[in-house]
Chains A and B, each alone.
Chain A
Amino acid sequence: MNVSSSSRQSLGTLLPKIVVAPTFVVTLVFIYGFMLWNAWLSFSSSRMLPKYDWAGFIQYEKLFANDRWWVAAQNLLVFGGLFIVICLLVGLFLAIFLDQKIRAEGAIRTIYLYPMALSFIVTGTVWKWILNPELGIQRMVREMGFESFSFDWLVNADMAIYTVVLAGVWQSSGFVMALCLAGLRGVDENVVKAARVDGASMPLIYRRIIIPGLGPVFFSALIVLTHIAIKSFDLIVALTGGGPGYATDVPATFMYTYSFTRGQIGLGSAASMMMLMAVVAIIVPYLYSELRERKQ
């Protein structure tokens, strides 16, 4: 009696663990295990095929001496920074405008959110055509009679990275809008009414009361956008192919090129370790603050 009840109890506590175990193992092996494997490769002399020797920091030294890596890293900063800031701003304003109890809000909301349903490959391809000077906007405006009009960002090595920002913002700002809209809907109407009674103007109410209240929403959006930016690969491949030259290379395309087409797996692994570190640098403070809040 005593035994069976204790065994039933232990089954009750064990069952959830048993159910979760396969997922846990899979995550452990296929995410953290492979991260460690990659770290090992980045310290090896691997070229075409993986090799398990110890080569010290030579791959990192090579990486930091590589011009193309610094172009890629700089592009990530430019793209990531602009992409995140513009997405947040555009998303916030769209949400505020949509929140004015306008007609057909549902339809408009869907229209703005819809790009999110496309893959980055589709977005990239469409924008490639729109921005191509011989096919898209430039040609259209010139055919309208403005012969000297020029819009060649896509083919200009100095400006091409901004076209990636443009396409990325087009795709992702709807997502920020949806998050912000949900946040705005959660704001207590009475607070707004009270502020209006006190004579505050709407812009002031937004600036001082509503937007500061959206802090957690911005934070979630920031985390999601940041890792979209760091992982960005498909958008670049479809839109610019990393070009002109390698002017729009980012760490992800750099890593792929070196690991898989140039037979320099060690160098590619070192590059992906650097990307991992960038993600860790953002996620760890976030987790830390989350956990600390929970303790309090």
Chain B
Amino acid sequence: MRISKIGLSVALALGLSMSAQAADVEVLHYWTSGGEAKSVAELKKMLEEKGHGWKDFAVAGGGGESAMTVLKSRVVSGNPPAAAQIKGPSIQEWGEEGVLANIDSVAKAEGWDALLPSVVSDVMKYNGEYVAVPVNVHRVNWMWANPEVFRKAGATVPTTWDEFFVAADKIKAAGMTAVAHGGQPWQDATTFESVVLGVGGAEFYNQAFVKLDPEAIKSPTMIKALNTFRKIKAYTDEGAPGRDWNLATAMVIKGEAGMQFMGDWAKGEFTAAGKKPGADYICAAAPGTSNAYTFNIDSFVMFDLDNKELEEGQNDLASTILSPEFQEVFNLNKGSVPARLNLSMSKFDDCAKLSSVDFVSSSIDKTLVPSMAHGMSTFSAVQGAISDAVTEFYNNDSVTAEAAADKMVNAIAAAQ
């Protein structure tokens, strides 16, 4: 018995090391939490079915910051992984370094242009050719609400910012926290971009955060958005600064707080707590943004390798990632929706169904906008500059909205 066990493990070890000797596709990612790790295991299985080895290169922590640091050192030393999880305009930055592999042949063969909304496929291309493949679409402009809190306070779930403050006042008067907020710069920026979208609309949002137009940023609309944003602070609790987003979500789950502004990864927390959408929690677009959609798309970028044997593995990986099977199983685990259009959403919950419908309709209405707070609309330097101005304004009451807007313009100019 014992011997056979040892024999088995030796055989396994041999088998593993042998499969590691065949050219493996090394994939750098930062999906290490429960649901995410499950999704990655699925991808690994699918790739292995196509006859490629998978070499896992997971770097946890910091929303990918640590992973990016490791990636830079690998690329600088001339030894990049086959694929890495990189998103948004950073793809262009990497493209300019001239280190990416072209996967246009797969994209052409499978007709990706028809499968993806153009807003998404533009992000995946460098110089008009595909270098990256999208995995999922997160909607950022969500508002998560606890219906029990609203019922107790006699408030209704708001659809405009004016209604929001009425409802927030009622919740506050009933002795509960109206808004569960985590006071970290990226969370401040997440809430802020929803306010800008709600107050100014998608066109204004694009003008300010994608085109970085100084006129738009200094306009009365932006001043109004800034003042609305700061007004929210009065409805948060004292423990908010520095709080992690999932702890803020927990406040909504436990009924200590009425609502939270956060992307749809918050849904994972509700699901893990055994809550049902519609009954135990409400997912609604942030006030004034129901016809718009701020997207945050995770994607994998392929690197140009010396070992050309791996090219086929990279192409198969790209094709697998965009396959309907993977898109479905991955996004069921992750809480996001498939990037690929026209997939059946029957297995998804109501929040994801709403997200998917809005994704399609907003892409037709041109109200599908990239998330500034999550680095989808600008390079990271500019994103940081905006985020600095926003978070300083929110935390320091002596800064006026006009001064914050001026600061934003100057900081953006300095960062470019």
Q: A residues within 8 Å of B by Cβ? A: 47-50, 62, 65-68, 128, 132-135, 138, 152, 154-155, 157, 240-241, 243-247, 257-258, 260-264
Return chain A residues, CB-CB under 8 Å to B241.
154-155, 243-244
Cβ-defined partner of B237 (8 Å) among A68, A134, A264 = A134
Query: Which chain A residues border B20 with CB–CB below 8 Å?
Result: none
Q: Does B396 contact A (CB under 8 A)?
A: yes
Let me know if B263 is at the binding interface, CB within 8 A: no
Contact of B242 among A62, A65, A243, A260 (CB under 8 A): A243
Interface residues of B (CB under 8 A from A): 62, 65, 68-69, 72, 75-76, 90, 93-94, 97, 183-185, 188, 237-242, 379-381, 383-384, 388, 391-392, 394-396, 407, 411, 414-415
Among B188, B238, B381, the residue within 8 A (CB) of A155 is: B238
Check A157 against B380 for contact (C-beta < 8 Å).
no
Contacts of B238 in A (CB 8 A): 133-134, 138, 152, 155
CB pair A262 B239 closer than 8 Å? no
Give the residues in chain A near B379, CB-CB below 8 Å.
263
Residue of A nearest to B410 (CB): A65
- Cα separation A260 to B239 with both chains bound (whole Å): 29
Whose C-beta in chain A lies nearest to the C-beta of B382?
A262
Q: Which residues of B contact A263 (CB under 8 A)?
A: 90, 93, 379-381
CA distance A247 to B392 in the complex (A): 8
Instruction: Tell me whether B240 and A262 are in contact (CB under 8 A).
Output: no
Residues of B contacting A155 in the complex (Cβ-Cβ under 8 angstroms) = 183, 238-242
Interchain nearest-CB distance for B413 vs A (Å): 10
Would A48 and B93 count as touching, CB distance under 8 A?
yes
A-B contact pairs, 13 of them (CB 8 A): A134-B239, A155-B239, A240-B242, A243-B183, A243-B241, A243-B242, A245-B185, A245-B188, A245-B392, A246-B391, A260-B69, A262-B384, A264-B415
Residues of chain B within 8 A of A66, CB atoms compared = 411, 414
Known contacts A155-B239, A245-B185; A261 and B75 CB within 8 A of each other:
no
Chain A's nearest CB lies how many Å from the CB of B298? 17
Specify which of A134, A155, A245 lies most central, judged by the most chain B CB atoms within 10 Å of its CB: A245
A133 and B239 contacting across the interface, CB-CB below 8 Å: yes
What is the bound-complex CA distance between A258 and B380, given in angstroms? Answer: 10
Minimum distance in angstroms from B274 CB to a CB of chain A: 25
CB of B126 to closest CB in A, whole Å: 14
Identity of the chain B residue whose Cβ is nearest the Cβ of A63 in the assembled complex: B414
Residues of chain A lying within 8 A (CB to CB) of residue B94: 48
A152 to B185, CA, bound (A): 19
Picked from A62, A241, A264, the residue with its CB within 8 Å of the CB of B184 is A241
Q: Name the distance in Å between A142's Cβ and chain B's nearest Cβ.
A: 11
- Extra contacts, 6 of them, besides A62-B414, A68-B388, A246-B388 (Cβ < 8 A), are A48-B72, A48-B97, A132-B239, A154-B242, A157-B396, A263-B93
Contacts of A244 in B (CB 8 A): 183, 241-242, 391, 395
Central interface residue in B68, B90, B188, B395, by most chain A CB within 10 Å:
B395
Is there contact, CB below 8 Å, between B395 and A262? no
Cα distance, A260 to B69, chains bound together (Å): 6
